[in-house]
Amino acid sequence: MADSESPSYLDPLAISRGESLGILARNVVEGYRVGEHRSPFKGFAIEFAQHREYTVGDDPRHLDWKVLGRTDRYYIKQYEQDTNFVVHLLIDGSESMNYGSGKVTKLHYAKALAACMAYLVLLQRDAVAVGVFDTETREYIQRTDSLAKIHHIMNRLAAFEATQQTNIGVAMSDLSRIAKAKGIVIVFSDLYDDEEGFERGLQQLRFIGHEVVVFHVLDLQEIAFSFTGRVEFIGLEGAPTLETNPQDIRKSYLEEMNAMRKRMQLACDRTGSHYVLTNTGNSLAETLSAYLVFRQKITAR
């Protein structure tokens, strides 16, 4: 079953657009193998970076003999070393993510988006780790840089079903304990949760040095709330059932929703994280390419 579901998460259009854009870390990250990402550590490998004067303790192998012969001065040659990075994909698997006004639920959308991301990361020989959480981390797939593992990742994602409430703060704290090396943490969630815990989690991840990207996954109707007639809303995650005329409270609802989105964005801004509003009404390709274009722009700064 997992095998049969896995292709549905990889949107060909999203992947092809993603490939052309590539995953570029905004920050220079610390890597454990040579990849496409520059390492902050100047080494002695392939690409020359600069000279510096020799000091005691330096390996004499790195002395630039040509400079020594011409100027009789001791200079050490420094090289720039490329490094790879780890992308942590953290998916909200709470019950509220099960809502979808169309065929696609938010959880499904988040899983697909995460799968595409994972595929792209693996494709450029970087490492990826995937976690699904609700009140705590339910699924965690250790980091891997093998493209062959993508099917395994998708099978594990497909097998997960959302039933519990959310505690995103706990999930982010858990991750900050597990992922000590700096990398990119991408969170997919509707953020219907304790807002303080969410910001605390962001702070912890940023403190370690992770770059954090928050995909705020919302359904089209949650954003537009264009219902008509009389509707009985059955609350998810233990929320009460409400009967009302949506048009009577639409304006007020949208105010509340927009205020929440603004608060989340501010929390991201305060912690130096990226906030990406993700409407499940848009195609995966559209969402992914929009984000990657944005990312390319800010990386080029």
Site residues for another protein per CB under 8 A: 96-99, 106, 190, 192, 219, 222, 227, 229-237, 239-240, 242-245, 247-257, 260
Residue 225 burial (CB count, 10 A): 17
If the CB atoms of residues 10 and 91 are measured against another protein, the closer one turns out to be 91
Least CB distance to another protein at residue 244 (A) = 6
**End-to-end C-alpha distance for the chain, whole angstroms:** 44
Which residue in 97, 123, 121, 106 sits closest to 184, CA to CA? 121
Q: Which H helix or E strand runs over 215?
A: strand 211-218
Structure tokens that stand for 76 in this block: 């050490």
> Is residue 52 within 8 Å of 94, Cβ to Cβ?
no
If the CB atoms of residues 259 and 293 are measured against another protein, the closer one turns out to be 259
If the CB atoms of residues 177 and 230 are measured against another protein, the closer one turns out to be 230
If the CB atoms of residues 3 and 196 are measured against another protein, the closer one turns out to be 196
Which residue in 106, 130, 103 sits closest to 190, CA to CA? 106
Residue 225's contacts (CB-CB under 8 Å, 6 or more residues apart) are 246, 250, 253, 254, 257
Least CB distance to another protein at residue 271 (A) = 23
If the CB atoms of residues 129 and 217 are measured against another protein, the closer one turns out to be 217
If the CB atoms of residues 125 and 250 are measured against another protein, the closer one turns out to be 250
Least CB distance to another protein at residue 239 (A) = 4
The residue behind tokens 């040659």 is 77
Least CB distance to another protein at residue 9 (A) = 21
Least CB distance to another protein at residue 193 (A) = 10
Phi-psi sector, 63: left (phi>0), alpha (psi -120 to 50), beta: beta
The residue behind tokens 């339910």 is 138
Least CB distance to another protein at residue 110 (A) = 13
Which residue in 179, 199, 65 sits closest to 130, CA to CA? 179
If the CB atoms of residues 159 and 242 are measured against another protein, the closer one turns out to be 242
Least CB distance to another protein at residue 201 (A) = 20
Q: How many Å apart are CA 114 and CA 131, to the nearest integer?
A: 10
Which residue in 275, 32, 15 sits closest to 154, CA to CA? 15
Q: How many Å apart are CA 145 and CA 168, to the nearest integer?
A: 26
Least CB distance to another protein at residue 166 (A) = 10
> Is residue 5 within 8 Å of 155, Cβ to Cβ?
yes
If the CB atoms of residues 72 and 243 are measured against another protein, the closer one turns out to be 243
